[in-house]
Chains A and B, each alone.
Chain A
Amino acid sequence: MRISLIMVFAMFGIFLTFAVYGIVTFDLSIQEMEKLLGTRNEVFAFNMMQDLDKYIDKRLNDFKELAKATVVQESLKKSNLEFRKLDNPETLLEQNKTDTDLKSEPFIQGLVDKELTADLIDTIKFYNNEYGYNVVEELFITNEFGANVALGSGTSDDRQDDEEWWQIAKNTGLYISELKYREEYGNYATALGLKIDDEHGNFLGVLRVVLTLDDLIHEFINDADLINLPNRNGVLLDNQGRIIYSHSIQDFTKSQPVAYFDRIIDGKEVGTIELTDEPNDVKIISYSRSTGYKTFAGFDWITVIDQTSSSFIDEFIDLRNSILITSIIGMISSIVIGVVVSFFITTPLKDLSLLAESISKGKFNVKAKKSRINEMRVIGDSFNDMTESLQKLIETEKKLAETQARVKNERLTGIGEIAASMAHNMKNPLGTIRSSAEIVKRNAKGTSKELDDVLSRMDRAIERMSQQIEDVLNFVRVSPLIESSVPIKSLLDGAVESIDVPKNITVEIPQAEMQLRCDPKKIEIVFINLFLNAIQAIGNNPGLIKVRVKEEKSFAVIEVEDSGPGIQEEIFSKIFGPLVTTKEKGTGLGLSTCKNIIEQHGGTISARNYPTTFMIRLPLKHD
């Protein structure tokens, strides 16, 4: 496999895993985050509700403390005693109620406690100083008959016992009115009626105070300011699901309940709702219903933390997108890198290996392509240098070998020429010796047996010399072939006839019909040589020289096998070389001459050992 493909697959795989992992993790994280966010916002909502209820409870306690104040208790007891002395307080009260002129002035002179009034005014001032705005819009105290005893602020008629709130406060201990918008205060406000008892629990009177919404939800506003973020908002709903506060106090009496109010009512006291009105903008609504605080039962209001999920999901989407983009870029770049690696490295490397292969096969006319990558170019250049050097080296070697061969050849040729000339020059004196011997032999025949023996020995010596000279000349002279068509059998027979086959050896020549186009004289020399070798190998033991002739794919195959002991292993491989002989009297040129002659005919000669067999293949040419 190509290195570039492996790289592409590996990198592609890594980035793909990265992408899938990123997306899966992203979805899980979002779910987890939403849950976490909901839980956290629930805690916020719960705490804000607690703060709100605690604050209202504190206010109530403030006024309860006020009701227990000695000045209040004493004044009321005193006022109640005075009222009990009156014959007809009901009539007096009724009369005063219609008398609007008496508003600014307590209707019963002497009964209205100036000291208490001053105290209430101080209380109002205290709150004003403390909070910087009018917390208390209206504050007064009535005695057990419903008549005003002290008036801190606001307007009131003198008789309150006929009012519903007064009766509720007297009977239940606490009255809390609905929130109403009060033109005169320019604010929503709620009226509280607080029953005042003496230390023994006897009814003394009622304290009425009107508190503004600003003050009631003072703590909530503070909390909301703290938790509010561009995407997170603290909201206060009333018991009907209308928005009292969202960024500021709303004109809620005229508005409709929020859409998710039913779900809050159906749910637990603290919970989270997911609103998926818009697909990409999930809203997480965490709420806490009022449970009251200590003695304060609560208004059944609901605090809500409203957070848009896009705010935090956006970050995740950004993260996911960046993972996806990174992955895609990674995948693309892995392919690009693969292509680049393939183009700049793998392909040139492959080219180089092909080049090396062709060089190893001996083709030097190849060149490495120029690469644009420096390293590859360096390799390519080295390659080219190497090729050139190799080529030069091989050429030099070749030249050297040729020169050596030529020198050797020239020397051999020279030696050959000398040998030929010597052999030839020896022929004439040898001829003279032979003819002289013949003449002597003829003339001295029968004269003396001893002389006959001497002459016979001379004859054998002359014969040996002639044979050796003939061998040398046969080897040295490469004369053109004088071809004619001859039956193979006659060539073999002729060869056998021209040598002296000892009686212990049988020569088997097959009845072959085959005609051979060749130089009969030369081929005969070949056969003579083979037969002489065979005879000498067999020696004095009874033996057989077997000749086989067959036709094989337009070749004549002649095999000469002898029953001799075989050729010595150490010279077997070089028997066709010149000057290789095992015979004391041999020139070592016989088989070498045979090889020359057969090759001159376009054939081949080879040998097998055990039994020694020479195979000659000669092409069957036709006239």
Chain B
Amino acid sequence: MENKTVLLVDDDVDLLENTAYMIKSTGYEVITAENGVEAVEKYKEIAPTLVMMDIKMPKMDGYDAFFKIKQFDSKAKIILITAYTLDEKKHLKAKSMGLITTISKPYTFEQIEEIVTKYA
């Protein structure tokens, strides 16, 4: 079985590490990034199975990173983590471009397990 990799992106390092720990516990490889720019670079580099990305981030926000990644790979599977919807236009556009789903902070271990198992 091919080792599946999840790219986890969040500017909150503590939360990033905790979440990475959770995903790893479910048996996936996790690569982390702390902003959109880094996320896009890492995606191009390793082509992960699933991307879980926070929206509100410095340098490049989650939506823009989403569009860049989709530009690069239209088949990319991306889940956005929301605090609350920031930009409705971008959200709708993202939905139309194949955004899988969104999850809301604060999420539970079970939620992460379910999503990762389902989409990765």
Contacts and interface: CB of A to CB of B under 8 A. Distances in A.
Query: Are A and B part of the same complex?
Result: yes
B105 A428 contact: yes
A429 B105 CA distance: 10
Contact of B12 (A431, A436, A439): A431
Nearest to B112: A435
Interface in B58-110: 83-85, 88, 105-109
B106 A434 contact: yes
Interface string B1-31: 0000000000010110011011001000000
B83 A439 contact: no
B108 A438 contact: yes
Interface residues of B, number: 18
Given A427-B105, A427-B106, A432 B84 contact: no
B106 A466 contact: yes
B84 A435 contact: no
17 contacts: A424-B84, A428-B12, A429-B14, A431-B18, A432-B18, A435-B107, A438-B108, A438-B109, A439-B21, A441-B109, A442-B25, A442-B109, A462-B106, A477-B84, A477-B85, A479-B84, A479-B85
A431 B88 contact: no
A430 B106 contact: yes
Interface string A412-431: 00000000100010011111
Interface in A382-432: 420, 424, 427-432
B9 to A, nearest CB: 13
Interface in A197-243: none
A435 B10 CA distance: 14
Interface in A453-498: 462, 466, 473, 477, 479-480
Contacts of A480: 88
Given A429-B12, A432-B14, A433-B106, 12 more contacts: A420-B84, A427-B83, A428-B12, A431-B15, A431-B18, A434-B106, A434-B107, A434-B108, A435-B18, A436-B18, A439-B21, A441-B109
Contacts of A428: 12, 15, 83, 105
Nearest to A473: B84
B22 A435 contact: yes
B86 to A, nearest CB: 9
A432 B22 contact: no
B55 to A, nearest CB: 11
A436 B85 CA distance: 25
Nearest to A443: B25
Report the 10 A-B pairs with minimum CB-CB distance, sorted nearest first: A435-B18, A431-B106, A438-B109, A432-B14, A428-B12, A434-B106, A432-B15, A431-B105, A427-B105, A424-B83
Contacts of B108: 434, 438
Nearest to B81: A431
A477 B104 CA distance: 15
A439 B25 CA distance: 10
Nearest to A462: B106
Contacts of B107: 431, 434-435
A384 B93 CA distance: 59
Interface of B: 12, 14-15, 18-19, 21-22, 25, 56, 83-85, 88, 105-109
A434 B19 CA distance: 10
A473 B83 CA distance: 9
A435 B106 contact: yes
A438 B84 contact: no
Nearest to B108: A438
A429 B85 CA distance: 19
Contacts of B12: 428-429, 431-432
Given A428-B12, A432-B15, A439 B106 contact: no
Contact of B22 (A420, A429, A438, A462): A438
A197 B18 CA distance: 190
Nearest to B92: A482
A479 B88 contact: yes
Interface in A124-179: none
B88 A435 contact: no
Contacts of B85: 477, 479
A428 B19 CA distance: 12
Given A431-B107, A432-B12, A432-B14, A439 B88 contact: no
Residue among B19, B85, B108 having the largest count of chain A Cβ atoms under 10 Å:
B108
Nearest to B21: A439
A597 to B, nearest CB: 14
Residue among B15, B56, B106 having the largest count of chain A Cβ atoms under 10 Å:
B106
A439 B15 contact: no
A433 B107 CA distance: 11
Contacts of A473: 84
A431 B19 CA distance: 9
A431 B84 CA distance: 14
A431 B83 CA distance: 10
A436 B106 CA distance: 11
A462 B106 CA distance: 9
Contact of A439 (B18, B56, B84, B105): B18
Contacts of B105: 427-428, 430-431
Nearest to B110: A438
A609 B94 CA distance: 45
A438 B106 CA distance: 12
B90 to A, nearest CB: 13
A439 B22 contact: yes
Nearest to A466: B106
A429 B12 CA distance: 8
